[in-house]
Amino acid sequence: MPQVRTIPVGKSIEAGVKVLPYEKAEELVKKQKKFLVAPCICRKEHRLKGEGCDKPMDTCLVFGWGADYYERNGLGRVITLEETLDILQKADEEGLVLQPSNSQEIVNICCCCGDCCLVLIHLKRHPVPAKMASAAFVARVDTETCIGCETCLERCQMEALRMEDDHAVINRDRCIGCGLCVSTCPSDALHMERRPGEAGMEVPKNQMAAYDLRLKARQKAKADLEDKLARHQNV
């Protein structure tokens, strides 16, 4: 049960694609009443170690009761809806993956890079990132209109794209549906499409439901491990 999920940047979604409200960043944000931005803890940690990247620091968006907590403890600053939308736009320009809390009623949206975000770093190491991510979309390339500029290869955080016969090819097992390759494709050869229903992970209604599902997943994993060890000892 992932702690966060991946949603595509707004401009990467075609008008004809059915999109649930909790899968589109702008709609998620416009439902909120209080907005706060805080420094990205992942990039902050890496910079303290002399590592990381030069992506923007103030990109962690927090809402509602989460924003109240952050404000009380001096962990961020309250901003307007317009400023929040500007940060999302900047995140797309910088090639940052949008990862809200894994619930329909969100508390935060992280704007993540593959250099510092531990979620993305570990996803990238996995042979099939799409299997581990909570993502409802996957990119699709039109080989007839692709001009082979390789812009999408530079933008992809999961190394899900490669060149073949002078056009981009997508490894669906590695694509986590962030839409970064789509939003800057100069020939509009890339599009987002919904994954088959059975491939998507459940999106809990709120944070408490998400915590409950993660607890049950950990309990099951622990029970499975104990059962495996017991059977091994009996051999």
- In order of 74, 105, 133, 193, 199, the CA distances from 18 in angstroms are 39, 19, 20, 9, 16
Question: pLDDT at position 198, please?
Answer: 46
Rounded to an integer, the average pLDDT of 117-122 is: 91
Q: What residues does each domain of the chain span?
A: 10-208
* Rounded distance between C-alpha atoms, residue 204 and residue 201, angstroms: 9
Backbone angles phi, psi at 226, to 5 degrees: -65, -40
Bridge partner list, 109: 61, 100
pTM: 0.77
Bridge partner list, 170: 161
Greater pLDDT, 218 or 31: 31
SS3 138: strand
Percent of the chain with pLDDT over 70: 82
For residue 204, the Cα-to-chain-centroid distance in whole angstroms is 16
Report the candidate in 218, 223, 152 with the shortest Cα–Cα distance to residue 182.
152
Tell me the residue ranges of DSSP E strands in 158-217: 161-164, 167-170, 190-194
Rounded to an integer, the average pLDDT of 63-92 is: 95
pLDDT band at 14 (very low <50, low <70, confident <90, very high): low
User: Who contacts 34 (Cβ-Cβ below 8 Å, separation ≥6)?
Assistant: 63, 64, 67, 68, 78
Question: pLDDT at position 5, please?
Answer: 55
Contacts 24+ apart (CB under 8 A), 180-183: 180/9, 180/12, 180/92, 180/95, 180/96, 180/97, 180/155, 180/156, 181/139, 181/151, 181/152, 181/155, 181/156, 182/8, 182/9, 182/11, 182/12, 182/139, 183/9, 183/11, 183/12, 183/92
- Which amino acid is it at 232? H
Question: pLDDT at position 197, please?
Answer: 64
CB 96 within 8 A of CB 113: yes
pLDDT at 10 over 80: no
Question: pLDDT at position 234, please?
Answer: 73
